[in-house]
Amino acid sequence: MGATVGCETNAEQALKTTAITDKPAFVEPFKPIEGPTVWYGEDLDVQDVAYEFTPREIEEILKAVASVEKRQLKVEEITREDFVLPTLGPKLDIIHQDLIFGRGIRLLRNAPLGLDVTLQQSIIAMWGLSTYFGKQVPLTQVGHLVGHVRSDEGVTKRVSNCTPVPLGYHADNSDIVLLACRTQAPSGGDSSCCSSHALHNEILKRRPDLHKVLSEPFYSDRREWWPEGSPPYYKSPFFHYHQNTLGVQEVQPNLEEVAEHLGAPPVKPGQVEAVKLVQEIAAEPRVRFDVRLRPGDILLNHNLTTFHSRTTWQDGASEADKRHMFRIWAASPLGWPLDPLYAERWQTVEVGKRGGLEVRSPFKLHVAITPKEYFQDFNDWFALYGATATTEPLKPAASRAQKQDLLRKFFPAMESGAKVEERSALIRAEA
């Protein structure tokens, strides 16, 4: 195992920012990166990333929750101005800046999210805290602004983050991802993070040939979520050099299936090996940082400089022993300049607005308070659009028929055998 969380935090130490400037790390293409964004799990302990709320700060959060409930605001209507935290707010601003310009990983502990508050109060607390890190952007094309991560309850088509399958190291479609724990399973469901800038340096040192491959465009599967009128794949390199910064975006491992079944350009030499190497290095004990979230924890990651993953889990019989996490994607007002190719997945590269998925009609932005509502939204989406989600890599026999059905729905020209044309690399980019 890598460096594992297992002791109490020190609040004063946790607020010592690793950000040495309010600018992104300066990066010279194809040269090693230096600075706080490069770190190794073996060198970290919980005191380096965690901040535990004090009793006074917890009371402030609960008071803000009560104020919102009294005003009967919908969760998606709550702004930072509605969720006033006089003592805690300035500290969250420091943590926010450290997240963007420092190490890129923070852990908030002891938030009032567990079973001692109602489900709605837990979500309000999570949402209110998230307003100090930016604007919430949609997690799904159904319009979800808060995700329920737990074993699904009746969703007819599987969604990977709502099943106990392990997830590889990846980054999400936003500046910041917040993962909050309401309840935890007795075993498994552990999170792991790594510095994607450290991955950059390791690959540059070990395999400069594959580093070059990872700096060129890949074609990845959009899966069941993609903007209307777009092909079911997107174009993106793993390493995005842009204006002396480096953003790192995941590349999915099923490259050959994407080319074979979705009409993407052929896989180039070295691409499959390069993607495999990324996962291997990220999982090395010296590289990764493992953390088991407990009720009241909120793990924050900067998606441009860190990757995260999750192990499988086994729920217990009681509600307290069923793993239930909340997830929010946030567009930070402190965001770095982005390569326009990010717009292929992030909808736009405009700071403060970017990230998330395009919401498909007739769905609208909203917060599903209960898991039942959340999963019913998926069922409605699948029923309307005929999509079939999968928790496994594409399998040739099944995927071709499955994906072709979807392609015909969104690209009528395919009925006559026409190939989907690749869209411009600058799709949806802001001027």
Domain residue spans of the chain:
9-21+41-188+289-337+354-367
Residues 6+ apart with CB under 8 A from 269: 213
Cis peptide before 186 (omega within 30 of 0): no
How far apart CA 82 and CA 414 sit, in angstroms, is: 49
How many CA atoms lie less than 13 Å away from 156 in the CB half-sphere? 12
- Answer yes or no: is pLDDT of 422 > 50: no
Of 48-57, 122-131, 189-198, 354-363, which range is least confident? 354-363
* pTM of the shown model: 0.86
Q: 9-21+41-188+289-337+354-367 has which CATH code?
A: 3.60.130.10
191-207: average pLDDT: 97
Q: Which two tokens stand for residue 50?
A: 């965690």
3-class state of residue 114 by DSSP: coil
Averaged pLDDT for residues 274-302: 96
Q: Which range, 96-100, 155-159, 250-254, is most confident?
A: 96-100
Q: Are 162 and 326 in contact, with CB atoms under 8 Å apart?
A: no
Whether 310 has a pLDDT exceeding 60, the answer reads: yes
Q: Rounded to an integer, what distance in angstroms lies between the CA atom of residue 241 and that of residue 25? A: 12
Predicted pLDDT at 102? 95
Query: pLDDT at residue 139 above 90?
Result: yes
Q: pLDDT confidence of 408, banded at 50, 70, 90?
A: very low
